[in-house]
């Protein structure tokens, strides 16, 4: 017997939605998938008309679907957004160079301008070099911290108002669990925010906050989207992996668990008497930081001094100032990029127009 | 109500290097190892009891500051018979007998009642012969409590369906859930459905063990609170230890209970207004409790939970128990302790009102245009269909509360639970206290409406 879609009752059901367990046809699946993202964008007032938005594109499934859906919704609902693709080249041979090829194909498919920012140009270190120096143990810390700042730097170069990232519901639920397990109360509060803003930082949001990873894969699969699906060659993050398996088990027991966790995370309220670290700015580069120096500067300093093992702790005051960051000045809540020769001199920094 | 079973009560814990002195007195050889610290028996007990006293003192001071120094409160101990509540019973007893900080011979608590809820109904009930294959735990528990000379109340979980387990004490109506509505029903005297049958009928129609466990837990908690209230107890002691609490923090988070999590994991909470819940065991690990009980010869009984001995993936609760997290129990417990119930929660019996639109917006289950032409209004009314199962239109007649209205009175996580209640062919009956809560809430809404239009009403009839 042919099973009909529970939504339209006409077409043959093609998938069982991971989020709800409903059996739906493809068209209805597309509709609910896209509409949920649209609702998320509208309800949280993520964009203003004529905003310039950078889509953080890694070439993976999340960002590929994000680029696709953003372009589609922008046209369907007339958000009036001007969109760019922004990629970070961590300099991982055999991984990032391949995925960047995917991004370049995406750029042509979606006709969006693409900008690639590389670690070696920003920090003077590629991930390959860093791994050579620090080994495979803490390397993900470097990569994560550097990428966050690199995205911001790239956004400033593109002069956009907003960055959207492909973090999905699974990622956020994992982070909630991880922060409980680690006892990181400050991050626990922040991690479910859909949109983050800080002094001198570009607004950053996650339109996929309520979108299940499985549905993203499903969407990419049915739409035959072109994406790159290889794990990073430098070992996956062990701690996150732990939370990830737990979350997957939870999802098996109760499919709504992922959304339930996010809901819990949003509901948490920290007692007034609990001290939270105050957010300030890094004294060296002006990036937001809860310590004197931001994590990126601390890590970089360690690398340049040849003390890569020392990942934690503040740096001594007499450290030489890293030339690159010296040029960043904070002005009017935005980086002043007017006098930076690096960007213009490097060829791959120019915006490829199609 | 700690049901974590301490499997290894091994006193001869391997200590590396072979012999070490107690880190506290530094004179005796250590025999107990607790999280990298070694203690001798004496110091261990001293520290252990100290932690307990600190928590109890704190709660007494805070409650005494609000009302003038009375001669101690009347309290109730929720006693499951498990190791943690067993220790708690002993320590409360000791604390009440000798009270070091006050010169006057006043007791800390004027009266102590011990209450136990028997759950044997959940296990292997044979409906044909109306017998349980598992014996009631009440007798075993009573034997323990007799040593202390405290009044003992032994309850059966199924009696939550009794009319006296309500705020008013004699509310006999029940809430019946059906496919399209939830009705408050007057149960005829003639119907001789035993409470056991009702409870089992309800639970058997909950399709997932996660939801079932949740149901059982809330029935139990409500029953304890009602009993405490009925007996005039100002305080209810629950024996959750820190191992248990950290499991609860993770599993409650996973079930979407972020709002109410602080209510169920904090050391002291006055959410239920007239009954304060205190968890004096919140800083003890289940290992410490096991050792203490062994040292002092405190016997406990084995209370199985519904998913005991089941596969780890049987329920969220079970999975969380099974998981060994790479962080310490105390980290999680401390994280949990920093949370507080949000101010925005509307006070309600057990569920909190929160943004109801939220779920419907991010999980679109129907295409509005197919049901209603205008999307905006369609959202409001078609969002009524909390699941496609309730797809039949709601027939609203005066006497019934629609299912939607009932769902509105539930918190997010309870609504999720309700999705697993099978109402297609069955009429599910919820206990009177739920029905009472629903009616009360409805009346409150009417009152609020009336207040808004008060000035425009011409005659002042009391009809609500």
B248 against B310, higher pLDDT: B248
pLDDT digits (tens, 9 = 90+) for B120-162: 877 765 555 555 556 778 888 888 888 888 899 988 888 877 7
B179 against B261, higher pLDDT: B261
The answer on A93 and A189 residing in a single domain is yes
The CB-side HSE value for A274 (13 A sphere, CA atoms) comes to: 16
Between helix A169-182 and helix A257-267 the angle, nearest 10°, is 60
- Look at residue B367 and tell me if it is in a domain: no
- Look at residue B332 and tell me if it is in a domain: yes
Q: Are strands A288-289 and A280-281 parallel, antiparallel or unpaired?
A: antiparallel
The answer on A126 and A96 residing in a single domain is yes
Give the C-alpha separation, B387 to B374, whole Å. Answer: 21
User: Which range of residues forms the domain containing residue A125?
Assistant: 30-276
Domain edge (last residue) among A276, A294, A319: A276
The answer on A324 and A201 residing in a single domain is no
Instruction: Please list every residue in chain A whose beta carbon sits closer than 8 Å to the beta carbon of residue B255.
Output: 254, 257, 260, 264
A218: pLDDT confidence band, cut at 50, 70 and 90? very high
Q: Is pLDDT above 80 for B89?
A: yes
Interchain contact A276–B (C-beta under 8 A): no
Instruction: Please list every residue in chain A whose beta carbon sits closer than 8 Å to the beta carbon of residue B358.
Output: 263
- Look at residue B400 and tell me if it is in a domain: no
- Look at residue A1 and tell me if it is in a domain: no
User: Which range of residues forms the domain containing residue B216?
Assistant: 56-353+409-456
Q: Residue B156 is part of a domain; what is its CATH number?
A: 3.40.50.620
The answer on A148 and A42 residing in a single domain is yes
DSSP for residue A283: T
**Across A149-153, A283-287, A340-344, which has the greatest mean pLDDT?**
A149-153
Dihedral class, residue B101 (left if φ above 0, else alpha if ψ from -120 to 50, else beta): alpha
Question: Cis before residue B239, ω within 30 degrees of 0?
Answer: no
The answer on A185 and A108 residing in a single domain is yes
Cβ pair A261, A124 in contact under 8 A: no
pLDDT digits (tens, 9 = 90+) for A155-188: 888 989 899 999 999 999 999 988 888 888 888 8
Strand, helix or coil for residue B307: coil
pLDDT for B78 equals 92
Give the C-alpha separation, A226 to A117, whole Å. Answer: 22
Whether residue A182 and residue B331 make contact (CB cut-off 8 A), yes or no, is: yes
**Count of beta carbons in the 10 Å neighbourhood of residue B384:** 16
Give the C-alpha separation, B101 to B37, whole Å. Answer: 29
For B324, residues 6+ apart whose C-beta sits below 8 A from its C-beta are none
Cβ pair B273, B67 in contact under 8 A: no
Whether residue B208 and residue A253 make contact (CB cut-off 8 A), yes or no, is: yes
Give the C-alpha separation, A131 to A140, whole Å. Answer: 9
Residue ranges in chain A assigned as alpha helix (H): 26-43, 61-76, 96-110, 119-123, 127-134, 139-158, 169-182, 185-190, 213-222, 238-253, 257-267, 295-305, 323-326, 341-345
pLDDT for A282 equals 77
Q: Is pLDDT above 90 for A219?
A: yes
The answer on A270 and A291 residing in a single domain is no
Cβ pair B333, B285 in contact under 8 A: no
What is the tally of helices (H) and strands (E) in chain B?
16, 14
pLDDT digits (tens, 9 = 90+) for A103-134: 999 899 899 999 999 998 888 888 888 888 88
pLDDT digits (tens, 9 = 90+) for B300-354: 888 777 666 666 666 666 776 666 554 567 777 776 666 665 544 443 333 433 3
Whether residue A257 and residue B250 make contact (CB cut-off 8 A), yes or no, is: no
B171: pLDDT confidence band, cut at 50, 70 and 90? low
Whether residue B339 and residue A271 make contact (CB cut-off 8 A), yes or no, is: yes
- Look at residue B50 and tell me if it is in a domain: no
CA angle, A318 then A320 then A321, to 5°: 115
Instruction: Please list every residue in chain A whose beta carbon sits closer than 8 Å to the beta carbon of residue B361.
Output: 36, 39-40, 43
Do you know the residue count of chain B?
464
The answer on A84 and A73 residing in a single domain is yes
Nearest to B434 by CA among B236, B199, B219: B219
Give the C-alpha separation, B125 to B110, whole Å. Answer: 40
pLDDT for B136 equals 78
**Does the annotation list A57 as a binding residue?**
yes
Q: Is pLDDT above 50 for B370?
A: no
The answer on A198 and A188 residing in a single domain is yes
Q: Is pLDDT above 90 for A244?
A: no
pLDDT for A66 equals 94
Give the C-alpha separation, A122 to B228, whole Å. Answer: 65
Pick the residue from chain B with its C-alpha nearest to A275: B338
Q: Is B193 exposed, middle or buried (0-12, 13-18, 19+ CB in 10 A)?
A: exposed
Give the C-alpha separation, A217 to A61, whole Å. Answer: 7
The answer on A241 and A142 residing in a single domain is yes
**Does the annotation list A249 as a binding residue?**
no
Number of domains into which chain A is organized? 2
List beta partners, residue A353: none
DSSP for residue B162: S
Instruction: Please list every residue in chain B whose beta carbon sits closer than 8 Å to the beta carbon of residue A246.
Output: 319, 323
A236: pLDDT confidence band, cut at 50, 70 and 90? low
The answer on A177 and A38 residing in a single domain is yes
The answer on A166 and A84 residing in a single domain is yes
B397: pLDDT confidence band, cut at 50, 70 and 90? very low
The answer on A240 and A196 residing in a single domain is yes
Cβ pair A32, A147 in contact under 8 A: no
Give the C-alpha separation, A249 to A258, whole Å. Answer: 11
- Look at residue B340 and tell me if it is in a domain: yes
pLDDT for B282 equals 87
- Percent of chain B's residues with pLDDT above 90: 6
Number of domains into which chain B is organized? 1
Q: Tell me the whole-structure pTM to 2 decimals.
A: 0.77
- Look at residue A138 and tell me if it is in a domain: yes
pLDDT digits (tens, 9 = 90+) for A2-47: 788 888 888 888 888 888 888 889 998 999 999 999 988 988 888 9
Dihedral class, residue B15 (left if φ above 0, else alpha if ψ from -120 to 50, else beta): beta
* Facing residue for B363 by CB, picked from A36, A267, A271: A36
* Facing residue for A268 by CB, picked from B258, B331, B366: B258
Whether residue A20 and residue B316 make contact (CB cut-off 8 A), yes or no, is: no
CA distances from A264 to A188, B265, B362 (A): 11, 14, 15
- Percent of chain A's residues with pLDDT above 70: 84
B157 against B190, higher pLDDT: B157
């Amino acid at each position: 017997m042919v099973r009909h879609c529970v939504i339209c009752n006409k077409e043959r059901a093609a998938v069982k939605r991971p989020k709800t367990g409903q059996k739906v046809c493809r068209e209805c699946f597309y509709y609910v998938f896209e509409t949920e993202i649209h609702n998320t964008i509208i309800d949280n007032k993520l964009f203003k008309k004529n905003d310039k938005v950078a889509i953080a594109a890694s070439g993976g499934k999340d960002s590929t679907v994000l680029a696709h859906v953003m372009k589609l919704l922008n046209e369907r609902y007339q958000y009036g957004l001007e969109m760019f693709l922004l990629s970070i080249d961590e300099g991982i041979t055999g991984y990032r160079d391949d995925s960047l090829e995917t991004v370049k194909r995406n750029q042509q498919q979606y006709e969006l301008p693409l900008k690639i920012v590389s670690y070696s140009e920003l920090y003077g270190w590629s991930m390959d070099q860093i791994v050579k120096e620090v080994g495979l143990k803490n390397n993900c810390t470097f990569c994560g911290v550097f990428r966050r700042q690199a995205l911001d730097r790239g956004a400033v170069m593109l002069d956009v108002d907003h960055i959207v990232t492909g973090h999905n519901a699974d990622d956020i639920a994992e982070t909630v669990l991880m922060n409980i397990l680690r006892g990181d109360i400050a991050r626990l509060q922040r991690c479910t925010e859909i949109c983050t803003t800080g002094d001198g930082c570009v607004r950053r949001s996650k339109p996929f906050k309520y979108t299940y990873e499985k549905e993203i894969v499903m969407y990419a699969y049915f739409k035959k989207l072109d994406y790159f699906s290889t794990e990073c060659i430098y070992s996956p993050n062990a701690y996150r992996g732990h939370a990830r398996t737990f979350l997957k088990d939870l999802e098996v027991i109760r499919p709504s668990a992922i959304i339930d966790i996010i809901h819990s995370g949003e509901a948490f309220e920290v007692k007034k008497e609990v001290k939270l670290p105050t957010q300030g700015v890094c004294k060296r580069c002006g990036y937001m930081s809860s310590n004197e120096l931001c994590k990126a500067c601390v890590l970089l300093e360690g690398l340049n001094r040849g003390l890569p093992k020392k990942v934690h702790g503040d740096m001594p005051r007499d450290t030489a100032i890293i030339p690159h960051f010296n040029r960043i000045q904070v002005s009017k809540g935005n980086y002043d990029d007017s006098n930076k020769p690096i960007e213009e001199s490097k060829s791959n920094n120019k915006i490829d127009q199609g | 109500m700690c049901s974590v079973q301490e499997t290894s009560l091994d006193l001869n814990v391997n200590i590396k290097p072979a012999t070490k002195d107690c880190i506290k007195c530094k004179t005796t050889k250590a025999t107990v190892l607790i999280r990298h610290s070694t203690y001798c028996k004496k110091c261990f007990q001293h520290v252990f009891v100290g932690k307990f006293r600190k928590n109890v003192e704190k709660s007494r001071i805070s409650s005494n500051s609000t009302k003038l120094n009375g001669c101690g409160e009347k309290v109730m101990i929720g006693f499951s018979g498990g190791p943690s509540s067993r220790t708690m019973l002993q320590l409360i007893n000791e604390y009440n007998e000798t009270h070091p900080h006050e010169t006057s011979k006043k007791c800390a608590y004027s009266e102590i009642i011990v209450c136990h809820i028997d759950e044997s109904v959940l296990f292997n009930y044979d409906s044909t012969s109306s017998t349980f294959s598992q014996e009631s735990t009440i007798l075993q528990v009573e034997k323990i409590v007799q040593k202390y000379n405290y009044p003992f109340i032994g309850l059966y979980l199924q009696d939550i369906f009794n009319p006296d387990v309500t705020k008013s004490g004699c509310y006999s109506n029940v809430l019946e859930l059906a496919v399209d509505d939830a009705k408050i029903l007057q149960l005829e005297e003639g119907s001789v459905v035993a409470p056991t049958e009702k409870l089992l009928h309800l639970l058997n129609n909950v399709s997932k063990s996660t939801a079932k466990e949740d149901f059982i837990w809330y029935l139990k908690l409500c029953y304890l609170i009602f009993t405490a209230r009925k007996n005039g107890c100002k305080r209810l002691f629950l024996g959750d230890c820190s191992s248990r609490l950290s499991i609860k923090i993770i599993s409650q988070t996973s079930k979407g209970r972020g709002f109410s999590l602080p209510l169920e994991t904090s050391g002291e909470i006055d959410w239920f207004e007239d009954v304060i819940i205190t968890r004096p065991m919140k800083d003890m690990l289940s290992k410490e409790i096991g050792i203490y009980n062994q040292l002092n010869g405190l016997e406990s009984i084995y209370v199985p939970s519904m998913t005991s001995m089941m596969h780890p993936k049987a329920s969220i609760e079970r999975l969380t128990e099974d998981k060994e997290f790479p962080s310490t129990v105390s980290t999680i417990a401390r994280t949990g302790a920093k949370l507080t119930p949000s101010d925005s929660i509307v006070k309600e019996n057990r569920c909190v009102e929160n943004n109801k639109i939220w779920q419907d917006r991010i999980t679109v289950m129907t295409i509005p245009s197919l049901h209603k032409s205008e999307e905006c209004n369609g959202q409001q009314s078609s969002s009524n269909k909390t699941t496609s199962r309730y797809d039949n239109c709601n027939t609203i007649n005066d006497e019934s509360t629609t299912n939607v209205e009932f769902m509105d009175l539930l918190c997010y996580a309870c609504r999720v639970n309700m999705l697993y209640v099978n109402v297609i062919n069955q009429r599910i009956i919820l206990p009177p206290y739920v029905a009472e809560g629903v009616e009360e809430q409805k009346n409150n809404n009417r009152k609020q409406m009336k207040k808004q239009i008060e000035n425009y009403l011409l005659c002042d009839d009391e009809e609500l």
